[in-house]
Structure 1
Amino acid sequence: MSNTQLRIISAAVMALIVSICLFLGEKTTLLFIMVAGVLSTDEIYCNFLKKKRFGGLYFVSQALFAAPFIYFNFISDNGEAFDHFILSSLVLNFFLIYYLFFMKMSSRNVIKVMTKAPFLAGIVLLLPFMSLTALFSSEKWLSWIAVILLVNFGMDTGAWFFGKNFGKRKLWPSVSPKKTVEGLLGGMLTSSVLGGLAFYFLFERSAFFVWPLFFMLGGVSQLGDLVQSKLKRQFGIKDSSSLIPGHGGVYDRIDSLLFLSPFFVWALKAAGRI
């Protein structure tokens, strides 16, 4: 079986699992998201930072993610707390943008901080995950989840298709050698089309402003992927894990979605949609 076939089968299985969770409702979907967060925390702690699993700080890292996630999503009804998580996640993202564009590949500062305080893995992941679950505060959470998934999927799939078939100019070889300018633009266009169509059918048929918005958010999604590519190069790994055949780890599949989430939710809040 070729790697492409393996990737397609794995993607189909993942899509089926996500669809089943969405069908079963809010609590099941939140539980699925929490499991993805726990696995991502494990991947960063053990594979990026190369720390031993099941040590004391490993459980601290997992607790720093899981305890607030469970409390605010399953127990508390304090919706205002999510605003703080979204703001904190935006601050984190702007730092990551600075890291991506202005910190040299030879710099070891991020590695030193994370290695000395590996429990930060749980906090670093908690912020964007809580931004994503802020969508559940809306009665139309299922529709918003569908839109953000399509915007993110559109970027990934469009970038792959256009890059593979039309890509000539490398986007950023030192960070991600396979990405191309044509792939970036094609992915952003695909995000705009898929996100716009979803919004058209699920919400308002006359809201044409969302098409350029989803085009830009597709680019934001790509930034998240570039950030992870740079981190993996600095930490000397190819994938966050080998859990998903043909795709790598859980964090490999959701890195751009996590980066996109606070910007997406902030845009919805600014527009008074949630």
Structure 2
Amino acid sequence: MSQATALSVNLNKIALLRNSREGSYPSVVAHAQVCLDAGADGITVHPRPDQRHIRPSDVMDLTSLVAPLDGIEFNVEGNPFAGPQGSYPGFMELVAQSQPDQCTLVPDSDDQLTSDHGFNLKQSGARLEPIIQRLKDQGCRISLFMDPDPEQIRLAKNVGADRIELYTGPYAEAFGQQSDNLDNLFQTYVEAAETAAEQGLGLNAGHDLNLENLPRFRQVKDLLEVSIGHALTVDSIAMGMAEAVKRYRAICQA
């Protein structure tokens, strides 16, 4: 490992808990502050049109919290093709309003439980290219949610991405099951990282990473950032959010 990896805490599940009742408790912004005070390098949210967790107002409130802070990044994830729906203004409009440091584009549909695959740029690359340019013109770094497929990663560079975020769900599942295929699967992520480096793309990763499987994944070379929400929130129930952030950050800094 040549450098530390930034930890961006995804707050979707805090918003999900809040949305189970009327009102604004627990506060997404207050929990973001806890994470930052405990050493998190950034905050991530993934606002969806159905507003099942993060709402457009949360995005703007977090923008107000993070924007004045030096060295702290705000990462907004989502489907760039998601248009207006009720009080959801559309993903592109929401990004234009919030001006995050990083915009992670994800090919999730409205009815998906969670993101579960990367872009197929053979199919969507031409449509994404002008969107990426528009977002870069607004000052956002662009990361594309990708499977560990070298051919697709090369296409990510061609459409203008600055980084890719490797979808780590299959790795996490294989790790949890101690699958016989774990070593071979992990090697696909190593090769994907090498391809990204060859293309001049920065490397992020996220999905189902936790305290058990993150140390091994950090062996992937030049891993700049991990985005972790679900597992960190679950760990927070047992140990408190500040302690959970510190433990994840210790792995990222090791």
- Give the alignment's TM-score, normalised by structure 2: 0.27
Look at both structures and tell me which one has the larger radius of gyration over its CA atoms: 1
The structure carrying a bigger helix percent of its residues is 1
